Each structure stands twice: as structure tokens, then as C-alpha cells.
A = this chain, B = another copy of it.
Amino acid sequence: MADTKIYRASTTAPVNIAVIKYWGKRDPKLNLPTNSSLSVTLAQSDLRTHTTASCSSSYPSSDSLLLNGQDQDVSGARTQACFRELRSLRKQLEDQDSSLSKIADLPLKIVSENNFPTAAGLASSAAGFAALVRAIANLYELKQDETELSRIARQGSGSACRSLFGGYVGWNAGTQADGSDSMAYQVAPASHWPQMRALILVVSAAKKGVSSTTGMQTTVATSSLFPARANETVPRRMKEMEKAIQERDFETFGKVTMMDSNSFHATCLDTYPPIFYMNDVSRAAIKVVETINAAAGKTIAAYTFDAGPNAVIYYLEESEKEVVGLFKAAIGDKEGWTGTRGRAVEANIAALYKVQAEASVAIGLLKEGVSRIILTGVGEGPVKTEETLVDEQGQAVSPK
């Protein structure tokens, strides 16, 4: 009688927000970047993907992926590359140890849930592919470490490789044509600098901008300023940023974060036709961060923008009152202030009052344009969990 057992393994994986941006592929097929990048992994209590990987001979013959209850296409080259590489590693194990179950070729059923609204426009592909790769690696009981798995996750979605680690994470661009040295590494664990916090201002975009895959290749092809960023600016800033993290130097961390976000969006603007991800509300967030830092006499808040108008503002726990308190007073009642973290922060009317004159237009734009806020901070990498999204009969179940 054939083995019809349902094999299952589950994990959660975090979102990461880069402080040195990944933009531009030197090899689109292998997702090899033109430059190294660096990110902060965010706490999974606020933002995470929960994924169960399962396989069974009783499943329909083709692999499947269910995300937030919706069937996803798994025939794309990127998902296929992840499946193929992970299966190949399982096969090596099975070949070495005949006592292992032969599961490498069984159909995969992956079930995934995000704990944050898709409407937030947060790049969920990083957490998604990190969770997918980590869950299948668990299912296959692979011995590869996070660095080796990051090489696989990278092929699913570039920035996913950084979500395999917690804390402060680098992604080395590498120089090999086959991508063998293009992997993520931990710069420092979350425990090294646990005071790092992030305030995310979710900004409603009138329309979805250019997709990052299309956008970054147009930048590489047309921006005359891009080579200077990839070849000179980013390599220098990677070193500055790693040092700032090692030394817990927020002023440098913040300044380099802001400059790198601006540099990335500058190359988008220098693309032809130009790509705009920031809008007037995004710029209003920049203005308010500038007034907060001016009032503090030093950099205590740092903005960064991915391929969309949302502002992510890094700050240290000790500056919560000056940073989040002011934004809470400025933006007023919005979804997100009501959560555990949000309720804990008092609106800092006094601080707002001081910058009101200089930032009144910006404050008006934020009040109008921010649809919700998310308060989070640096967090851990993927965590194995017994909570499963596939039941004993192999059916998808809703998370508790």
C-alpha cells in the first residue's frame, strides 16, 4: 500500500524594510542585484507571513499555493526555481540516507496567511517567499543554514533573502555569474540594538505605481545617474551603515537611511519615462521628520520609502515621545493608533505646536493622506511553529 501520509511543517517569516535599497538586477533570471543592500527585520507580532508546507501522494498531482484563501499561480519561473532547488536538496538527503521517506517528488500544497491587510501596500513578497522557502526546508528537514537558504529565497523575490534573518541584515550583491555568492547575512541580531522602532504611515495611492521588477530594469536601462549609485554610492554606504549598526550610532544610521532612500528615488526620477513612487503626502512626511530633527538638534527620526508612497520612519524607543507622539498629534485619529503599541503613545500636542508654523501645510497633507498607521520595531527571523494551516486530512484550515 502506497504511503498517503500528509507531511507538514510550518513557519512564520517577517517583513523587512531596507535602509540601503535593492534596485536593479544584473541578472533578472537569477534575481542577482546590481548592488548590495541592508535592511531591518520587523517584529512578527505586527507583520508576518504564516506558512504551512505540506506534501502527500494523496494530493492532486500539481503543486499549489493558497495565500489568504486565494489560489496563486505557481507556474512562474521564480516559484518554480524555489521548488526545484529545495526538492533537489531533499533528494540529496534521501540518496544519502535510505531510511528517509521519499517525499521530494510528492506534490506540494502550500498554505499561507498574512497578519496584515493587503490594502496596506506593504511589500509582502519578501515575507512570503522567505516563509515558503523556510517552511519547505522544514518539511524536507534540510540541514542548510539561513545563508544557504537565502540563496534560494532570493530567486523567488530578491529582498526575500533578507527575511530569513532577524535583526539587521545585509545582502551581498556578489560577483559570480551563477549567483552562488549573492546571499544574505546577519549584520547584527535584534538583541544587539533592540531599541530600534518603526512607524509606518500607510498612504493611499491614487493608483498602483510601476511594478518594481519592471521599474528597476527600466532604471538600469535608461538612468544615466544609476551607475554612480550602484558602483560608488551604495558600496560606500554599506560600510557606513554596518559600522553605524555595530556602534549603535543612530545619527549615522538615520542620515544614511534618508540619503539612500533619496538616492534610490532619484534614480527612479532619472529613469525614462520617469518613475514616481513618492507623492505630496510622502514629501509631507519628509518635511515633518526634518522639523522633528531640527527641533531635537540631531537626527532622531529617519524616513525611508520603498516602491510606493508609504513612509517608514525609524527611531529609537527613547525618542518615541518626540517622534511618534508628534505624528499622533499631527495625524489624529486613524486605524493603527488603537493597537497595543499605538495606545501606549500619547499624542504630543506640545511638540506639534512648536513645529506647527513651519510644517502646517505638511501636517494638513498628512492628516488627509495617511489612511492608517503601523507601529512596530526590529524583530526576529523566521520561527518554526506547530500551528498548522493544513489539517491531518490535507485540507487548508484558517489560522486561529
CB < 8 Å neighbour of A263 from B224, B229, B233: B224
The count of identical subunits is: 2
| A269 on interface, CB distance cutoff 8 Å | yes
Binds B, one of A20-28, A50-58, A101-109, A273-281: A273-281
A207, A265, A270: most-surrounded residue (chain B CB, <10 A) = A270
Our pick among B225, B255, B361 for the contact of A225 (Cβ within 8 Å) is B225
List CB contacts (< 8 Å) of A2-31 with chain B: none
Residues of B within 8 A of A283 (CB): 276, 279
Is A262 in the interface zone, CB < 8 Å from B?
yes
Chain B residues near A224 (CB, 8 Å)? 228-229, 232-233, 236, 259, 263
A314: min CB distance to chain B, Å = 16
A259 to B265, CA, bound (A): 15
Are the C-beta atoms of A269 and B269 separated by less than 8 Å?
A: yes
Q: Which of B206, B233, B269, B280 contacts A265 (CB 8 A)?
A: B269
- Contact at B225–A263, with CB atoms within 8 Å? yes
Given contacts A225-B228, A225-B267, A266-B267, contact A207 B361 (CB under 8 A): yes
A276-311 interface code vs B (CB 8 A; 1 in, 0 out): 100110010010001000000000000000000000
Could you say which of B225, B255, B262, B286 contacts A233, with CB atoms under 8 Å apart? B225
Q: Verify if A116 is at the interface (C-beta below 8 Å from B).
A: no
Q: Give the distance to chain B from A275, nearest Cβ to Cβ, in Å.
A: 10
A122 at the interface (CB under 8 A from B): no
Residues of the B chain whose Cβ atoms lie less than 8 Å from the Cβ of A207:
361
Q: Which of A204-237 contact B (CB under 8 A)?
A: 206-207, 223-225, 227-229, 232-233, 236
Task: Name which residue of chain B comes closest to A272, CB basis.
Answer: B259
Q: Which of A223, A269, A290 has the most CB of B within 10 A?
A: A269
Does A258 lie at the interface of the complex (its beta carbon under 8 Å from any beta carbon of B)?
yes
- B contact residues around A271 at 8 Å (CB): 262
Q: Tell me how far the C-beta of A266 lies from the nearest C-beta in chain B, rounded to whole angstroms.
A: 4
Report A's interface with B, CB cutoff 8 A. Answer: 206-207, 223-225, 227-229, 232-233, 236, 255, 258-259, 262-263, 265-267, 269-274, 276, 279-280, 283, 286, 290, 361
Q: Can you list 5 residue pairs at the A/B interface with Cβ under 8 Å? A: A223-B266, A225-B233, A225-B267, A225-B270, A263-B270
Pairs A-B, 10 closest by C-beta atoms: A266-B270, A228-B228, A266-B266, A224-B233, A225-B225, A266-B269, A280-B280, A206-B361, A262-B274, A225-B228
Please name 4 further chain A to chain B contacts, defined as beta carbons within 8 Å, in addition to the given A207-B361, A266-B269, sorted by A numbering: A224-B228, A224-B236, A224-B259, A225-B263
